Amino acid sequence: MSTTPEHSQTRLLVPSLMFIALVVVAVASLGTPLITSVATTFHVSLDSAQWTLTIALLSGAVATPVLGRLGAGPHRRATILTTLAVVVAGSALTVLPLPFAWLLVGRAAQGVGLGLTALMMGVARDHLPEGRSAPTIALISVVSIIGAGVGYPLAGLLAEYGGVRAAYGLGLFVTALAFLTAWRSIPKAPEGRSAHVDVAGALLLAGGLFLVLFLASQTNLWSHHLAVAVALAIVAALLLCIWTIVELRNKTPLVGIRAVRHPAVAGANIAMFVGGIGMYLLLTLITRYAQTPHSAGYGFGLTTFVAGLVLVPFSVLGFVAGKLTPRVRERVDAPVLLAGSAVVVGGGFVLFAAARSNLAELFVAVGVLGFGVGSFSATMPGVILAVTPKSETSSAMSFNYVVRSVGYSLGSAIGGLVLAAGTDTGQLFPNDGAYTTAALVGIAAMAITAMAGLALARQRSPETNPTAAPTGPPEERRPEQERKGADK
């Protein structure tokens, strides 16, 4: 009888973790379908309205490693609740009839919630039985990707019929619900944990990431002020190099750089970076192509709401892949599965490049993309956590999500640059061939990602068991006979 309340709490914890991860991602991505509505409502340029998305990504990337370190300590529950309170407050600012500057402040606060995904994984790894923690972590990773596809059509529908404030009102409602869910379901961290935030390291990383993501989002800066863009890129590289040196010398670093240097972790982050470029590039191409008016000679002229519906196969098949991946991992090594997932995403690029004359073909391409992204996202945590102690789950995955954010931003920027290069002087929309060129770039990115996954499979340490649930440091997971032999 004493196990009944514990079983009930465990049963409720899984949907709670997934719901919170879904909400923070969906709310942060609201800026994408609402850019045009924001520009019209607040009487600002499209470039200014674009910042409603950019600033959320920036704040999320900066907050993620800090929250990951805090989540590794004894105050993880307080960290989660405080962060969600910030997100709720930011959501309220987006709904209130305030000037555009306050909307940006609210969007920045909403973006902070992106750092909670890794903390949800830490909770799952600490408080779920061994057989359920790995599949749950995989699904949390998938939900953090497909959440954007869930929010797009709803935001577009509300914006069309109720205005931009109504769309952001949806964000306020679900974030408040997520806060209440966390309040009731998130348990305290296990005893004996400690976490010290390296303030200097956090500031250096924040500065470097801000410049990287700023340069990735401001494609006009590269085309009109190349010298300034190059100078900022050099400053960003210097800041990140200094940050690396500081972290290596610090006894309590913000991110365990030495752990990141492990072949499995380093390879996984490289695959995440390059793969993130390709995955977000195709998502950008498909959404832009679908909304391009017929007058351009191609495209479908879809409204924001209908264009959001195009992403439904992305979310549905991504979730299906996330559910299937843990079963496939029982027979296939995680690095090999990463490579296979990259090949599937590359197949989506091939479909888009070869056939996009009707909506059915577009649905197929985005469905293939969703399946590949879902499988890739579900596999990634297992590769990293297989060599990561339980206490470092949040920190390790936070770094991976920072890498993913940078990759996504670069993917969006590369797509914008290629399409801009394919736009004739005096024309508003790029040539149809520019989309094919961008797709070829994506195919190359996913080929590199697949090769990185295969390289990981060849370099996999003999003590790592790829099919086992990640439950502790590598030494603890080695077979008993192997450890005894090593001790001798």
What confidence tier does 10 reach under pLDDT thresholds 50, 70, 90? low
Cβ(414)–Cβ(283) below 8 Å: no
Residue-wise pLDDT tens digits, 219-262? 778 778 889 989 999 999 999 899 888 888 887 777 767 767 77
Two tokens, residue 67: 């929250």
Residue 488 confidence (pLDDT) above 80:
no
Give the separation between CA 80 and CA 371, rounded to whole angstroms.
30
Burial classification of residue 193, based on how many CB atoms lie within 10 Å of its CB (0-12 exposed, 13-18 middle, 19 or more buried) = middle
What pLDDT score does 41 carry? 87
Number of other CB atoms surrounding residue 229 within 10 Å: 18
Distance (Å, whole) CA 189 – CA 401: 21
Predicted local distance difference test score (pLDDT) of residue 460:
59
86 vs 82: CA distance, rounded Å: 6
Cα distance between residue 10 and residue 1, in whole Å: 15
Both tokens assigned to 371: 């399946």
Return the pLDDT at 127.
Answer: 87
Q: What pTM did the predictor assign?
A: 0.78
Helix axes 3-28, 76-95, angle to 10 degrees: 40
Number of H helices, E strands in the chain: 21, 0
Q: Does 469 have pLDDT greater than 70?
A: no
CA distance 216 to 454: 28
Q: What token pair was written down for 425? A: 């002087």
Q: Which pLDDT does position 268 carry in this prediction? A: 86
